[in-house]
Amino acid sequence: MQFGTDITTLAMTIAGILIALSVHEAMHAFTGHKLGDDTALEHGRVSFNPLSHIDPFATVVLPIATLLIFGVPILAAKPVPFNPNNVKWGEYGAALIALAGPLSNLAMAIIGALLFRLVGTPGFVTDFLGIFTALNISIMVFNLVPIPPLDGSRVLFAVAPEAVQRVMVQIESVGIMIVFALVLAVPQFGTILISIGNSILRFLL
């Protein structure tokens, strides 16, 4: 999935990022609230307002920079806080909270693809819908990487043996740096993610 770097495409990409990440983070918060933890609600995160979820660097500067350099945006939003002691079903409840974000991106990708097919005629609307669909797939695939603090790690943590859980806890504080190092220093890692995303995109579009 390559994203254009002209001004119009950049604007559509930024708009798509704000929508996709806002829904992603809001669904984390909403699911946590439904599972008994009000931490995210108290922090104003049960909201589709992008201002509640944006990190100026990770959500705006980083994706623009990586889009211009690599042709693919790498991005993140402010993590949604939750108290695992308040969540129903313990580690499995935490896994459900984590899955809510990527699943919302999958739902948005499906909706975007259906609208893309429905509109059909090439133009601004179909361009945006194509970008929006691709962005949501990218965000979903990236977040399902099972390295802390990405969402996939919460799912893995819920089913992993205790020895693996201990390692995951130890690396969580530097996990995001490990992910970025893999993306930047191990071309095969990014290639695999892009290949998975492209396969899903071709299926939907």
Q: What share of the chain is helix, strand, coil (3-state, %, to 5)?
A: 75, 0, 25
What is the residue type of 49?
N
Torsion angle of C-alpha atoms 6, 12, 13, 18, degrees rounded to 10: 150
Residue tagged active-site, from 25, 91, 162, 172 = 25
- Looking at residue 186, its amino acid is V
Q: How many CA atoms lie within 13 Å of 110's alpha carbon, on the beta-carbon side?
A: 6
42 is catalytic: no
The residues carrying an active-site annotation are: 25
